[in-house]
Amino acid sequence: MEQERQLSTRWEGYVDWRSRPAIRGRHGGMLASSFVLVAEVLENLAYLANASNLVMYLSDYMHLSPSKAANDVTDFMGTAFLLALLGGFLSDAFFTTYHIYLIKVMTQILPPLTSAMVAGQQQPRSDRRR
């Protein structure tokens, strides 16, 4: 009787971080998914905050016209949102969702790091065109 109850509370095919059988009500569920949800909300807040200031940055510091800067930002945002669809297709067809999530995080972390390294190596320009 006790063994039947233990078997009914286990998730078949799932283990915890110590490779022990996962138990219903103790592993996964809303607690685990809430961490992913909070991480996604904070990531999107940071993304939209940076995108809203990107037009001013491109026009003031990169010396683009305001219309060209706004066009570049909308192209960037459109590409980012379409790549989410590509990531969903690849996740469903070839990879696990976790692997696609890691690839997405790396593609969002690497560009700011490389641009910060390049900006640190360049000398500031004193002539500002408007």
Structure pTM?
0.48
Q: Residue 10 and residue 13: Cα distance in Å, rounded? A: 9
Beta partners for residue 74, in sequence order: none
Lookup: tokens for 92:
């469903």
Q: Residue 54 and residue 48: Cα distance in Å, rounded? A: 10
pLDDT in tens, 59-115: 999 999 999 999 999 998 899 889 888 878 887 888 887 887 888 888 888 888 888
Q: Which of 128, 83, 124 is nearest to 107 (CA)?
A: 83
For the chain, give me the number of helices (H) and strands (E)? 4, 2
Q: Residue 32 and residue 41: Cα distance in Å, rounded? A: 15
